Amino acid sequence: MSEVGGARAKRMPRAVREQQMMDAAVQTFGQRGYQAASMDEIAELAGVSKPLVYLYLNSKEELFVACIRREAKALLEAVRSAVDPELPADRQLWAGLFAFFTHTAENPDGWAVLSRQARTEPFAAEAALMRDEIVAYVATLIGVAAQETHRATDRDPELAERDVAGLAQALVGAAESLAIWANETPGMTARESAATLMNFAWAGLGNLMRSERWSPR
């Protein structure tokens, strides 16, 4: 396997080298998993010697955490920057979902790191932190929808904080699952994934807003 960025160049500025290493690391971790990825492989893919990886990133664990952070930040940023807070809630949610699926489709290795590889100890905490940021953001979007409904129908959705949190968890979980599935399913576009989930979610949210709940028995 040859290096990520083409021909091996010597004496690059530290920042550039670091990015090359992280690129190689995300690719390797995403495809192999944390344990199965070897520092040898990462260094070779990055086109540098192993000691240099250690010089810059200190250890395999730190390198992996750095990858988690970089990828989570990028994903969050992609979603955030796609959402215009001036628009109505449904359009905000749509935009967010579409951006999410687009980003995960374009960065399958990064998404694999976040969604699969980062969830075992000793990284679960770090990954959960990152994930919670996303969930919190989604919860905000749901909150916006609730307030809109409130104003429009003059009825308070009475969604407890825990309900919103649960919904956000479900939504993100559904999105994660769909994204993984979409990455494995040829011909599945980000638009399709987003539409599927939006259809699924919007009605359910609407119902909840109108306090029309399904109940067993």
Tell me which residues touch a copy of itself (CB under 8 A): 31-36, 90-91, 94, 98, 116-117, 119-121, 128, 162-163, 165-167, 169-178, 180-181, 184-185, 188, 192-193, 195-208, 212-216
The residue type of 69 is: R
DSSP assignment of 59-118 equals SHHHHHHHHHHHHHHHHHHHHHHH--TTS-HHHHHHHHHHHHHHHHHH-HHHHHHHHTGG
Q: Is 2 in the site for DNA (CB under 7 A)?
A: no
Q: CB under 5 to 8 A by kind: which of DNA, a copy of itself, none does 207 bind? A: a copy of itself
Q: Is 11 in the site for DNA (CB under 7 A)?
A: yes
Q: Is 60 in the site for DNA (CB under 7 A)?
A: yes
Judge whether 99 and 83 are in contact, CB under 8 Å. yes
- Per CB under 7 A, the list member of 5, 31, 39, 180 interacting with DNA is 39
Sign of the four-CA dihedral 62, 66, 68, 69 = positive
Distance CA 3, CA 21 (A): 10
How is residue 157 written in tokens?
A: 């959705």
- Per CB under 7 A, the list member of 2, 55, 81, 210 interacting with DNA is 55
Beta carbon of residue 115, minimum distance to a copy of itself (angstroms, whole number): 9
Residues that bind DNA (CB under 7 A): 10-14, 17, 37-40, 48-52, 54-55, 59-61
